[in-house]
Structure 1
Amino acid sequence: MGTGVLYIWGLGASGWANSYYSAAVQAGSQSWTAFFFGASDAANAITVDKTPASLWPMALSVRLFGLNSWAILVPQALMGVGTVAMVYASARRLVNPWAALLAAAVMAVTPVAVLMFRFNNPDALLVLLLTVAGCCVVRAQERGATKWLVLAGAAIGFAFLAKMLQAFLVLPGFALVYLLTAPVAFWRRIWQLLLAGAAMVAAAGWWLLAVALVPASERPYIGGSQTNSVLELALGYNGIGRLNGADYGGLGNLNQEAGWLRMFDTEAGGQISWLLPAALVLLVAVTWLTRRAPRVDPVRAAFWVWGSWLIVTGLVFSLMQGIFHAYYTVALAPAIAVLVGMGVAVLWERGARWLLAVVTAGTAVWSYVLLSRSADWNAWLGIAVVVAGLGAALAMVLTRRVLAVVAVALVACLAGPAAYAVDTAATPHTGAIPTAGPSTGGGPGGGFQRPPNGFQRPNGGGQAFSRPFAGGQGRMGRGGMGGLLNAGTPAAELTTLLKDGASGRTWAAATVGSNNAAGYQLASGQPVMAVGGFNGTDPAPTLEQFQQYVAEKKIHYFLGAGMGGFGGRSTGGSDDAAKIAAWVQENFTATTVGGTTVFDLTQA
């Protein structure tokens, strides 16, 4: 109940949240083809630059309840409630109810979890499915149950359809732990893992196969690729390019922040790292305490399942040379939560109070460090946390008043993330790169400062473009900005023009960049072609294709002028968007409607 309130309360304040995905949800609610492929508009010009599974629950919700912020965001919040429930269920199988509740509480109040389960990025479905997979692997290991391992494989495969290769980061650890610890014969373990792999391939591959079988002329262009290929999107733009910083299709890379301590820096630290040191210490401690347990010991195996998730995913996030955003770290939250809840229980049962005291003191001190990064935000809280935490740690060793000491220790360890969680839930978030909690001034390039209280949606969508961040690099605070990273709200007269001009046209208008198109589309309810996709660097459409659309009277207006940094081979992507903009400016007359440059493509 508490998690539901935290995740659902005040959702409508964020408006369209990430307008890029909200526009695709709108399109999916209007067209089943757009729904299936994840198109940005109902006329199916181009898809979003991810596989579409995360859009499906939201689009179905909009079909049922109409297009509004609540219909888009409530499914995400419910996924958060489901994730917290799965964390509790997984821990409860092996430890006492109070420890399972602790794990659930840690998950619920992790600031980046509160952020992403109140937002419409693909991460909510990804995290839910991976948590389901982790729970299934733990259950499979207990008795060597094939069905649970197959279900885990299917969950990971479907998670691929939410956020592609990131779903596979848990695979090495899950497979290795099962292979080493399952209580069945070795070759049976091999066979079971092969079956689980087949389930994973089937769960992910059916959609990929469908895309491959549908002729390109009968489906939207695959956004984020340069060759209209899902495999290129998965392996390049959303794969190797994220790891090594290679420029795939205008992905861009300004990331110079990779390093072993990235999860603790000013960009990511306040999002996820409050209990990360504790989780790592508890993982090592339990592994040591169970060193003489049988190979098939379910408690140690469970720690290794969740610990492998935390270590592998955390290292990839820390060392990846491509674009990284702090909200990615929500994928670490379930692993941290289970390790903390179960770890505290195991150490308490084995009488290792001194180690729990060390964990409590260390967590309180680290919370103080994180809270001090927002010096103008509730400065008293950090002092209170460190005093309470150190006091509880000392009392844990010296006194026998167990319940009171444990209560103070838990409050001290959870007060920091809980305060950030409440602040996150109370603050609207929009744009492509949201962050949880108060501003710390962190992130590449110093990040963004927290704007004044209140939420203002930027105006003047479709104005001259600028590209301050290649591929969305940088860190966006509350609110947002128009152009590459967020949509603007067009003036009423422009919205009316688009509605009136949509009659008899496939697209009411076209503009460079998906976020600009999203603003016009969400306001007017009419399909708007996103020339060049998210970055404006996809060859969709080509200049020749666009000219053919214009000749056939399929597009009424072109919106915006002065394409700035969008498009162009200097980014590694296609320059068709820049060519289209230049051709429009050379051959059609510009007018201004509601502060936006408009070209009527029916009047040469």
Structure 2
Amino acid sequence: MQRLFGGEFGSQIAWLLPTALLSLVVLVVAAGRAGRTDKTRAFAVLWGGWLVVTGLVFSYMQGIIHPYYMIALAPAIAALIGAAASVLWRRRSEWLARAALAGGALLTAGWSFSLLNATPTWQPWLRWTVLIAGVIGAGLVLLLPELQLHRTALRRAGLFAGALLALTALAGPAAYSVQTISTAHSGAIPTAGPAGAGGGFGGGRPGGMGGRMGTSPGATTGQGGTGTGGAGSTNGQGGTATAPQGGGGIGRFLGGAGTSGVSSELVTLLQQGAKGYTWAAAAVTANGAAPLQIASEVPVMAIGGFNGTDPAPSLAEFQELVAQGKVHYFIGSGGGGMGGRGGSNGTSSEISAWVTANFQAQTVGSTTVYDLTGN
């Protein structure tokens, strides 16, 4: 799970991830040799399975992956830590339970310090506050039962220790949340926290890159300077990522500009041409089809799926749909070429080439449109 602890991913989800794994062990041990229907064990299997399986998928998956996907781990992390903390607190009179609770506090404090240290100039006091609170809280949890205190004093000290543990666990993520809420963001690929946040095994991220793309065919990734790609800007602090399909397609409409790139002439054409057709138009990639459909409120087919690399529909299937009169227009680029490309040998390219060779192009607004009825 190294990916989850480093770089962008660590600062998005890893704050309590080590403690969640420890909590899973605690719950399994607490269940012991209880019966098959034991609720604690069932709880551990359910949420532990969620955490481990999802974490492994994110750790080893190839292709397109963005840090905000990590939100899928949050319910399991919260459930495991909450349950384990409850079990250990109820059994805090036992030395082993106190040791586990204190160990979790120290683990959380140390790891939060590491993540916050990735941005040493941003709120530098916070990482030390978290670390000191964790050490003091862990010490109180371990030593309080050994101290000869009056019941009232012992209760107050216990509440103080609990408050320190909560501060240790939540101060870092809460600070990131406040920073994110209070900072203007734009684009379609959000990341939380200050620019350059990262840490763990993978180092920081330069200005907040919006996501990562792995080895999927035909996919590229960008970071840094501005552009017109479908991915849009990341978090208002870094550059604009390029569109998965590259250059000039209608997918540019989604890059934080919403439907502003869809001309009123094109909207009128689609609305007037929708009657009697299953799809008023077809466009390569979801980034190409979505803004058209949103702006015109008529059905638009997304050829090739999200980034144009899926073989759906095939060329033969698309030709059959056209022959049946189910698709009225094919949308090309804003500058005269075809829309998304879907790889040089992909199905999307085959469809684009077939349309180019067999139908007349016209310019509507600044967009190239092909009338598939031959009119």
Give 3-state SS (helix, strand or coil) of 2:356's partner: helix
1:531 aligns with 2:303: yes
Partner residue, 2:291: 519
Q: Matches of 1:501 and 1:482 in 2, distance apart?
A: 32
Change (3 A) 1:423 1:508: farther
Deviations 1:159-206 (A, max 9, x none): xxxxxxxxxxxxxxxxxxxxxxxxxxxxxxxxxxxxxxxxxxxxxxxx
Q: How much has 1:527 moved relative to structure 2? A: 1.3
1:410 aligns with 2:186: no
Does structure 2 conserve the Cα–Cα contact (< 8 Å) formed by 1:590 and 1:598?
yes
Question: How many residue pairs align between the two structures?
Answer: 323
Does structure 1 conserve the Cα–Cα contact (< 8 Å) formed by 2:341 and 2:348?
no
Q: Matches of 1:595 and 1:445 in 2, distance apart?
A: 43
Give 3-state SS (helix, strand or coil) of 2:281's partner: strand
- Among residues 341, 344, 349, which one is paired with 2:85 in the alignment? 344
Q: Matches of 2:61 and 2:267 in 1, distance apart?
A: 42
Q: How much has 1:568 moved relative to structure 2? A: 4.3
Q: Matches of 1:522 and 1:532 in 2, distance apart?
A: 19
1:311 aligns with 2:52: yes
Partner residue, 2:139: 394
Unaligned runs of 5+ in 2: 145-153, 210-217, 223-228, 246-250
Change (3 A) 1:585 1:409: same
Partner residue, 2:268: 496
Q: Matches of 1:547 and 1:411 in 2, distance apart?
A: 62
Higher relative contact order (CA 8 A, sep 6+): 1
Q: Matches of 1:292 and 1:589 in 2, distance apart?
A: 74
Partner residue, 2:347: 576
Identity of counterpart residues, as a percentage?
48
Q: Matches of 2:33 and 2:176 in 1, distance apart?
A: 40
RMSD of equivalent CA atoms: 3.9
Q: Matches of 1:501 and 1:298 in 2, distance apart?
A: 59
Alignment TM-score, normalising by the size of structure 1: 0.46
- 2:342 counterpart letter in structure 1: F
Q: How much has 1:270 moved relative to structure 2? A: 2.3
Kindly report which structure 2 residues correspond to 1:38-57, keeping only aligned pairs within 5 A, or say none. Answer: none
Change (3 A) 1:304 1:521: closer
Q: How much has 1:410 moved relative to structure 2? A: 0.4
Partner residue, 1:45: none
Partner residue, 2:151: none
Give 3-state SS (helix, strand or coil) of 1:303's partner: helix
Change (3 A) 1:601 1:356: same
Partner residue, 2:329: 557
Partner residue, 1:141: none
Partner residue, 1:566: 342
Give 3-state SS (helix, strand or coil) of 1:536's partner: coil
Partner residue, 1:267: 8
Partner residue, 2:367: 596
Give 3-state SS (helix, strand or coil) of 1:526's partner: coil
Partner residue, 1:70: none
Partner residue, 2:114: 369
- 1:468 counterpart letter in structure 2: T
- 2:270 counterpart letter in structure 1: L
Moved more, 408-417 or 374-383: 374-383
Q: Matches of 2:309 and 2:123 in 1, distance apart?
A: 44
- 2:220 counterpart letter in structure 1: P
Q: How much has 1:581 moved relative to structure 2? A: 1.5
Give 3-state SS (helix, strand or coil) of 1:267's partner: helix
Change (3 A) 1:349 1:588: same
Kindly report which structure 2 residues correspond to 1:182-221, keeping only aligned pairs within 5 A, or say none. Answer: none
Change (3 A) 1:511 1:376: farther
Does structure 1 conserve the Cα–Cα contact (< 8 Å) formed by 2:98 and 2:142?
yes
Deviations 1:466-485 (A, max 9, x none): 94249x9x998348767548
Deviations 1:115-160 (A, max 9, x none): xxxxxxxxxxxxxxxxxxxxxxxxxxxxxxxxxxxxxxxxxxxxxx
Q: Matches of 1:390 and 1:410 in 2, distance apart?
A: 13
Partner residue, 2:234: 477
Q: Matches of 2:282 and 2:329 in 1, distance apart?
A: 6
Q: Matches of 1:312 and 1:539 in 2, distance apart?
A: 29
Kindly report which structure 2 residues correspond to 1:213-292, keeping only aligned pairs within 5 A, or say none. Answer: 260-288=1-29, 291=32
Partner residue, 1:381: 126
Give 3-state SS (helix, strand or coil) of 2:368's partner: strand
Does structure 2 conserve the Cα–Cα contact (< 8 Å) formed by 1:266 and 1:373?
no
Kindly report which structure 2 residues correspond to 1:538-549, keeping only aligned pairs within 5 A, or say none. Answer: 538-547=310-319, 549=321
Q: Matches of 2:34 and 2:320 in 1, distance apart?
A: 71
Partner residue, 2:220: 468
Does structure 2 conserve the Cα–Cα contact (< 8 Å) formed by 1:483 and 1:513?
no
Deviations 1:364-389 (A, max 9, x none): 22112223334565444333322332
Does structure 2 conserve the Cα–Cα contact (< 8 Å) formed by 1:510 and 1:557?
yes
Give 3-state SS (helix, strand or coil) of 1:537's partner: coil
- 1:364 counterpart letter in structure 2: A
Give 3-state SS (helix, strand or coil) of 1:583's partner: helix
Q: Matches of 2:168 and 2:20 in 1, distance apart?
A: 16
Change (3 A) 1:350 1:516: same
Question: Comparing both structures, which one devotes a greater share of its residues to strand?
Answer: 2
Give 3-state SS (helix, strand or coil) of 2:137's partner: helix
Give 3-state SS (helix, strand or coil) of 1:409's partner: helix
Question: Comparing both structures, which one devotes a greater share of its residues to helix?
Answer: 1
Partner residue, 1:159: none
